[in-house]
Structure 1
Amino acid sequence: MEEEEEEARGLLTSGPDQASRDAPEVPDPRGTPPALCDPRRLAHRLLVLSLMCFLGFGSYFCYDNPAALQTQVKRDMQVNTTKFMLLYAWYSWPNVVLCFFGGFLIDRVFGIRWGTIIFSCFVCIGQVIFALGGIFNAFWLMEFGRFVFGIGGESLAVAQNTYAVNWFKGKELNLVFGLQLSMARIGSTVNMNLMGWLYSAVEASLGSAGHTTLGVTLMIGGITCVISLICALALAYFDQRAERILHKEEGKTGEVIKITDVKDFSLPLWLIFIICVCYYVAVFPFIGLGKVFFMEKFGFSSQAASAINSVVYVISAPMSPIFGLLVDKTGKNIIWVLCAVVTTLASHMLLAFTLWNPWIAMSLLGLSYSLLACALWPMVAFVVPEHQLGTAYGFMQSIQNLGLAVVSIIAGMILDTRGYLFLEVFFIACVSLSLLAVVLLYVVNRARDGNLNYSAKQREEIKLSHAE
């Protein structure tokens, strides 16, 4: 799941009139409410922030359930790797379209409160169907469950960001997005390290392994989605209550999507799209298949393989905010993207052609993955006019999901017919294409005297000079 896209969308949004939050307080005839119950007080806003963070926890926890249980899914459902990877492809397919319309549905159809609840329900229902597919030994039902889960997952991330913008502003917002991103990484990490143990516990309880054990394990994991749904209901209540007390409007995503804007996209923007797709298809499908890779090539135990497969998320949780600050201060976005892509290429080459301890390669991958997200996604805002930002980010997410869906299937086919070495060579080729696009972007930006390598300070100075 794309927690970077979440940041990108969130940073584009504009909440409702923030001045309403600074209006004179209206005396409450019943007396001053406790700090935890007063939306004007920090304690209450921290309570809301905790609900925002847990809102997406279930979605991120369950997204990589297949990766954490790769061996068990293939064995119990009697499927090959190609069919196994369809569980990821079916998640991505609906988001090829929904990336354009998720914000529209929240703004114009459901509203932020009902939209969040509805998308949370899709996540819950999708996970239940996914689990029932295991219980009834119906792999097609598991695929359908992942499709329904995908309908809710990405749109729920948009809703989460809209709530953040509606409740927090200014410098607070960067911290809030960092905390939400860290919680997403924690959800993925807990999944990787818990689901294998949970399967073993259910197996011991039922007395045997099999599709029923798999389904029950997935159903128990779905409890996290129910917790997220409860957070959505609580957020709706608190947001409606704050709207009444503070006389503010319901939050909007601020997205403006016009498909006709695509014809106006510049060469640098298309190169950014290519970098994005070619990079991420070498990360997420690899993590989806990584557990068995570490068991087969390096002889790791199931738990150890899960731990190392999750290290990308473990590193990303604390490093994403740090790298974000670094990129903000120094600028040089293209240079940082170049460093991230080169490091990722080195990581895949170490995994493919050496027997070095894979903790080294995976740690490098975790660092580079975090750095790329912080440096790549903001560049879109530097090369397109403000009125086209919603379309640009929507298109970027759309083709990213399309790439992930297609490459997930291709990766499964390569693994079934050629093995892990050829799969790693395929990922190396994808990262190499991304590297070529970065170099071309640097050349084009230099030739056009572009602003992609400016620091935040330089951008502010240019903005002030234009204002004068």
Structure 2
Amino acid sequence: MEEDEEARALLPGGGGDSGDPDVRAPLPALCDPSRLAHRMLVLLLMCFLGFGSYFCYDNPATLQTQVKRDMQVNTTKFMLLYAWYSWPNVVLCFFGGFLIDRVFGIRWGTIIFSCFVCAGQVIFALGGIFNAFWLMELGRFVFGIGGESLAVAQNTYAVSWFKGKELNLVFGLQLSMARVGSTVNMNIMGWLYSKMEAALGSVGPTTLGVTLLIGGITCILSFVCALALAYLDQRAERILHKEQGKTGEVIKLTDVKDFSLPLWLIFLICVCYYVAIFPFIGLGTVFFIEKFGFSSQAASAINSIVYVISAFLSPVFGLLVDKTGRNIVWVLCAVATTQAAHVMLALTLWNPWIAMSLLGISYSLLACALWPMVAFVVPEHQLGTAYGFMQSIQNLGLAVTAILAGLILDSQGYLYLELFFISCVSVSLLAVVFLYMVNHARGGNLNFSAKQREEMKLSHTE
């Protein structure tokens, strides 16, 4: 009865002493879950839900010099901070959706994964305060348990609240906010460390730990958003009688045996491409300082430009690919541009803003063109398994590459590290060409124009 009264109070002519809805309920548009204003409030909370996770993910990249100096570790050990984040997600990408759907529910799942993110960042910071690098590694492991699964929960909320034509825009906005979090981290954590150094009077593990602990406030913000979303989602369920969000993922590992050659090529493109992006950004700040002579602040700004560009261009490229189709051609352009950017960084002394801007453009384009292709070659009942497997091998690749990158840098230097990244992108480029040939030979739809796909969809419905 209580929920029915609350629902009636939000509807025109329902309850209250006045016929004016503005008198009956303060800010009625914000309070009514069926109204656009309320859903925009929910969208704002969804965007900030992942802000803390993305902000803290690249804390090590921004503070690479400080971490290596204060904790007295080489680059190989430093890159373990990224490897330990990726290891749990080799498995959790399969089971994160299952835990949300079958065990916790979207609300409790989001809160629990937010707690893991907060706890991981605190443990990471305490590792600095107590001068225990193993504790920092443990913190990154715990942080990794929450980070990727929180992204799954964020997407599930988006589908639950914004089904239909708004959904692509919502995903684009969420991705943009994630990149804003990464960008803010790149440009503020070095400055924050210098302020803590001045306040504490020295550099060292304590200064590093306190800096990381303050950065962890952003994770608290994400946790508060998780609580607010849980309340609003439960309230909307009560008022509108809507179901709690589901990921729609049914993970069946036995489906892997049915994966087609084009899908395996998409996996190969994904892994070989991203291992040349995220590990490079993890080491980029010091690279720009040592090779190009930039200050620490300027190097961080250059390193963050990939995320800045992605924040603005991801929604634009998403719309572009939707309107034009030709996914393989766009992926080919993205990978080739990334290859050119790495060659510039490795073999020239050109201003790195040029190469990093190209990297940001290509990174944004690839994400919009590559990931939707999975849905074109996989039956709907296998989509959860396909995307889970894709994320799992991506995290496996990132974990292994983080270790290899540290070893190469310690033993050979940045030139050989860049050559390693160039070779990874080269494999990705060859896989794209092979995918084009296989798709053409089989008459596949991966490179259809948007018009051809629409015609195919209409023919299937007739």
2:210 aligned residue (216, 220, 223): 216
What one-letter code is carried by the residue in structure 2 that aligns with 1:386?
Answer: E
- In structure 2, how many angstroms separate the alpha carbons of the residues matched to 1:84 and 1:30? 62
Q: Residue 315 of structure 2: SS of its match in structure 1?
A: helix
2:368 aligned residue (364, 369, 374): 374
Say whether residues 1:148 and 2:145 are aligned partners.
no
What one-letter code is carried by the residue in structure 2 that aligns with 1:29?
Answer: G
Say whether residues 1:92 and 2:107 are aligned partners.
no
- In structure 2, how many angstroms separate the alpha carbons of the residues matched to 1:79 and 1:28? 66
Q: Residue 94 of structure 1: SS of its match in structure 2?
A: helix
Determine the structure 2 residue equivalent to 1:453: 447
Correspondence list, 1:275-424, <5 A: 275-424=269-418
Determine the structure 2 residue equivalent to 1:6: none
Q: Residue 300 of structure 1: SS of its match in structure 2?
A: coil
After TM superposition, the structure 1 stretch with the greater mean CA deviation from structure 2, 411-420 or 247-256, is 247-256
1:261 aligned residue (242, 248, 255): 255
Q: Residue 245 of structure 1: SS of its match in structure 2?
A: helix
Give the C-alpha shift of residue 193 in structure 1: 0.3
Give the C-alpha shift of residue 37 in structure 1: 1.3
Give the C-alpha shift of residue 461 in structure 1: 1.1
* CA distance 1:163–1:28, change in 2 (3 Å): farther
Give the C-alpha shift of residue 46 in structure 1: 1.2
Q: How many residues align?
A: 446
Deviations, residues 331-358 of structure 1 (Å, cap 9, x unaligned)? 1111111111111001000000000000
Determine the structure 2 residue equivalent to 1:160: 154
RCO (CA 8 Å, sep 6+): is it higher in 1 or 2? Answer: 1
Deviations, residues 245-278 of structure 1 (Å, cap 9, x unaligned)? 1111111111111000000000000000000000
What one-letter code is carried by the residue in structure 1 that aligns with 2:65?
Answer: T
- In structure 1, how many angstroms separate the alpha carbons of the residues matched to 2:227 and 2:449? 41
TM-score, structure 2 as length reference? 0.95
Determine the structure 1 residue equivalent to 2:3: none
What one-letter code is carried by the residue in structure 2 that aligns with 1:146?
Answer: R
What one-letter code is carried by the residue in structure 2 that aligns with 1:257?
Answer: I
CA contact (8 A) 2:117 2:146 kept: yes
CA contact (8 A) 1:328 1:455 kept: no
* CA distance 1:200–1:388, change in 2 (3 Å): same
Determine the structure 2 residue equivalent to 1:172: 166
- In structure 1, how many angstroms separate the alpha carbons of the residues matched to 2:441 and 2:202? 65
Which contiguous aligned blocks of 4+ residues in structure 1 show a shift greater than 6 angstroms? none
2:220 aligned residue (223, 226, 233): 226
- In structure 2, how many angstroms separate the alpha carbons of the residues matched to 1:385 and 1:27? 47
CA contact (8 A) 2:187 2:304 kept: yes
Give the C-alpha shift of residue 174 in structure 1: 1.4
Give the C-alpha shift of residue 223 in structure 1: 0.1
1:55 aligned residue (49, 53, 58): 49
Say whether residues 1:433 and 2:427 are aligned partners.
yes
- In structure 1, how many angstroms separate the alpha carbons of the residues matched to 2:92 and 2:133? 25
- In structure 1, how many angstroms separate the alpha carbons of the residues matched to 2:296 and 2:149? 33
1:75 aligned residue (69, 77, 85): 69
- In structure 1, how many angstroms separate the alpha carbons of the residues matched to 2:90 and 2:454? 35
- In structure 2, how many angstroms separate the alpha carbons of the residues matched to 1:288 and 1:395? 24
1:136 aligned residue (126, 130, 134): 130
What one-letter code is carried by the residue in structure 2 that aligns with 1:113?
Answer: R
Deviations, residues 105-138 of structure 1 (Å, cap 9, x unaligned)? 0000000000000000000000000000000000
Deviations, residues 349-373 of structure 1 (Å, cap 9, x unaligned)? 0000000000000000000000111
Q: Residue 40 of structure 2: SS of its match in structure 1?
A: helix
